[in-house]
């Protein structure tokens, strides 16, 4: 600390004693910037005027004392260390000052130890601040993880309910042509359930429990493509600029989800610039080697691609930023937003293996920085032709395994309507027993992924020994850790996301059955 401009506030009624303290500090190599006060009012004004590194206080002053000064400091700047510098006083007095929160006690006739006492106290304060910052960061991370688990669990269960509601109303609509009684009510139910489906999808994104289809892409190309849509989305009074780094490294992400990230950030920026402004999207290749600290909290060393979205809007204070990515947190008026936009961004970035940081202040806009791992791999081909599928109907035999009663009923009805023979089981053990006893061929296993007793992946592994030609289509309300661990996200694995519609289920089943081996 020697040579630093140490900011020292001295609570002392003797100018001579204050100068002796400063001389002791200069002799130790400090360059103190100081102020001297004698009253509570003067100390309060000094604390309000600037930040201080340490406060040195005589124990007793006319009308003021060290304990009063310490209490005032704790109310105003609790992180600043406080050291009592006094003449000969009793041991009980020194103990009382330390118990009240003083960092140290130095006698005026032993000022040679003042510098070391200050060094120790200031370093201790810095350590406490850093420890508190890390604790707050950990607490925020744990809070977000807990909320994510809650959101994912709710979404998983709710998706089963929505599958039954959406599927049943779709079947009713097939039997209720336009103009018939209750047709309008059925349309309202379907629209409401579809809206709920969208909200649940956003919760799944936040909780990082959705199904991603990552491919190796050029982020610059994606930004160029999305920018055309964003210009219509943000309006003519906001100027959109793109600053794309040449020879940008590739990233492995779900392109559709990163597009969603850009749309959500653009909408958020638009709402922060009601009078118009500037929205800038930048890309760059950045590296962290550990010598200059992380690029942002949590970003590991290595090669990254930066996706940065900046606006010239109203900005945010620290309190808002602390809750920015929490679901249902919003600063918008009631009815103007769900509070899931930035929560969705957070979840997508996290599930993509990236990190997101925000820099903002009131009146100076906001900058979101997304760091995605750079990969050394060739770009995946884009715009692949979709496979041509036959009509959704069929006559094959399907083994349906689903532990949720309502979903099981709906899927059976849909498949039987489409012409399939359906064998139904509520769990893995029952499905194995069925497959052993059934004499005819079974063409497809349609199974939930996460079930009590035996998950879908284990069930398929055991069924494949009995029926090697069996195909499989997995379904789930979310892609949680169990899904990823059991390989459902392997390339080429057929997967159906809940909630699904009858048409979606029939098309997916037909597509799997018709795909060449």
- Bridge partners, 83 (sequence order): 56, 104
d(CA 300, CA 298): 6
d(CA 261, CA 249): 19
Task: Tell me what pLDDT residue 140 has.
Answer: 60
Band of residue 312 on the pLDDT scale cut at 50, 70, 90: very high
> For residue 275, what are the CA distances in angstroms to 73, 170, 235, 239, 362?
43, 43, 11, 12, 16
Tally Cβ neighbours within 10 Å of residue 174.
Answer: 11
Band of residue 210 on the pLDDT scale cut at 50, 70, 90: low
Band of residue 153 on the pLDDT scale cut at 50, 70, 90: low
Average pLDDT value for residue range 364-372:
92
d(CA 367, CA 356): 10
pTM above 0.85, yes or no: no
pLDDT at 31 over 80: yes
CA-based torsion, 22, 25, 29, 31: positive or negative: negative
- Bridge partners, 472 (sequence order): 445
Task: Tell me what pLDDT residue 110 has.
Answer: 84
d(CA 327, CA 335): 15
Tally Cβ neighbours within 10 Å of residue 47.
Answer: 20
Look-up: residue for tokens 């930023």? 321
- Main-chain phi, psi angles of 269, to 5 degrees: -65, -40
d(CA 416, CA 395): 9
Band of residue 372 on the pLDDT scale cut at 50, 70, 90: very high
pLDDT at 42 over 60: yes
Band of residue 300 on the pLDDT scale cut at 50, 70, 90: confident
d(CA 55, CA 67): 12
Q: 287 by DSSP, 3-state: which?
A: strand
Asked if 477 and 155 count as a contact pair (C-beta separation under 8 A), the reply is yes
Average pLDDT value for residue range 169-177:
76
pLDDT at 130 over 80: no
Question: Using one digit for the tens of pLDDT, what is the confidence trace for 59-97?
Answer: 888 888 888 889 898 888 888 999 988 876 666 777 777
Band of residue 470 on the pLDDT scale cut at 50, 70, 90: very high
Query: Which domains are seen in the chain, by residue range?
Result: 7-128 (3.40.50.2300), 139-206 (1.10.287.130), 215-375 (3.30.565.10), 397-514 (3.40.50.2300)
Residue 418, sorted as left (phi over 0), alpha (psi -120 to 50) or beta, turns out to be: alpha
Q: 157 by DSSP, 3-state: which?
A: helix
Which of 63-67, 198-202, 221-225, 374-378 has the lowest average pLDDT? 198-202
Task: Write the burial class of residue 89 (CB in 10 Å: 0-12 exposed, 13-18 middle, 19+ buried).
Answer: middle
Band of residue 212 on the pLDDT scale cut at 50, 70, 90: low
> Higher model confidence: residue 334 or residue 418?
418
Task: Tell me what pLDDT residue 292 has.
Answer: 62
Gyration radius (Cα) of the chain, Å: 32
Task: Tell me what pLDDT residue 328 has.
Answer: 63
Asked if 206 and 339 count as a contact pair (C-beta separation under 8 A), the reply is no
Which of 163-172, 176-185, 295-304, 332-341 has the lowest average pLDDT? 332-341
Continuous segment of H or E residues that includes residue 455: none
% of the chain beyond a pLDDT of 90? 28
Question: Using one digit for the tens of pLDDT, what is the confidence trace for 313-367?
Answer: 989 888 887 777 776 666 655 545 555 678 778 888 888 888 988 999 888 899 9
Average pLDDT value for residue range 390-419:
87
Average pLDDT value for residue range 229-244:
87
% of the chain beyond a pLDDT of 70? 81
Task: Tell me what pLDDT residue 512 has.
Answer: 92
């Amino acid at each position: 600390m020697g040579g630093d401009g140490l900011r020292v506030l001295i609570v002392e009624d003797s100018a001579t004693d204050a100068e002796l303290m400063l001389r002791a500090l200069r002799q130790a190599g400090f360059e103190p910037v100081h102020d001297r006060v004698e009253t509570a009012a003067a100390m309060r004004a000094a604390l309000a005027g600037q930040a201080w590194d340490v406060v040195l206080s005589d124990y007793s002053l006319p009308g003021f004392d060290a304990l009063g000064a310490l209490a005032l400091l704790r109310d105003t700047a609790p992180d600043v260390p406080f050291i009592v510098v006094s003449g000969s006083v009793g041991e009980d007095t020194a103990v009382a000052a330390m118990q009240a929160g003083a960092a140290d006690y130095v006698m005026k006739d032993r000022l040679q130890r003042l510098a070391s006492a200050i060094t120790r106290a200031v370093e201790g304060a810095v350590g406490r601040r850093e420890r508190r910052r890390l604790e707050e960061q950990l607490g925020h991370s744990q809070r977000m993880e807990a909320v994510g688990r809650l959101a994912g669990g709710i979404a998983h269960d709710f998706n089963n309910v929505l599958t039954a509601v959406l599927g049943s109303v779709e079947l009713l609509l097939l039997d209720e042509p336009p103009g018939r009684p209750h047709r309008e009510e059925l349309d309202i139910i379907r629209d409401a359930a579809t809206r709920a489906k969208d909200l649940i999808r956003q919760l799944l994104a936040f909780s990082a429990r959705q199904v991603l289809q990552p491919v190796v892409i050029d982020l610059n190309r994606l930004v160029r493509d999305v920018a055309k849509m964003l210009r219509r989305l943000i309006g003519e009074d906001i100027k959109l600029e793109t600053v794309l780094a040449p020879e940008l490294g590739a990233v492995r992400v779900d392109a559709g989800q990163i597009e969603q990230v850009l749309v959500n950030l653009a909408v958020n920026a638009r709402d922060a610039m009601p009078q118009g402004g500037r929205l800038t999207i930048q890309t760059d290749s950045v590296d962290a080697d550990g010598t200059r600290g992380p690029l942002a909290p949590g970003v590991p060393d290595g090669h990254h691609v930066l996706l940065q979205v900046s606006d010239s809007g109203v900005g945010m204070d620290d309190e808002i930023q602390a809750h920015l990515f929490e679901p249902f947190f919003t600063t918008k008026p009631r009815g103007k937003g769900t509070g899931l936009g930035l929560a969705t961004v957070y979840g997508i970035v996290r599930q993509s293996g990236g990190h997101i940081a925000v820099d903002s202040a009131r009146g100076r806009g906001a900058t979101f920085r997304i760091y995605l791992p750079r990969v050394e791999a060739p770009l995946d081909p884009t715009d692949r032709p979709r496979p041509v599928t036959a009509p959704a109907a069929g006559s094959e035999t399907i083994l349906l395994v689903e532990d949720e009663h309502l979903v099981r009923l709906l899927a059976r009805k849909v498949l039987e309507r489409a012409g399939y023979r359906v064998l139904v089981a509520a769990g893995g053990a029952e499905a194995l027993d069925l497959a052993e006893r059934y004499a005819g061929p079974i063409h497809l296993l349609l199974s939930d992924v996460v079930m009590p007793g035996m998950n879908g992946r284990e069930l398929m592994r055991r069924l494949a020994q009995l029926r090697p030609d069996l195909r499989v289509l997995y379904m789930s309300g979310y892609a949680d850790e169990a899904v990823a661990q059991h390989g459902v996200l392997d390339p080429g694995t057929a997967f159906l996301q809940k909630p699904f519609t009858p048409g979606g289920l029939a098309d997916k089943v037909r597509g799997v059955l018709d795909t060449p081996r």
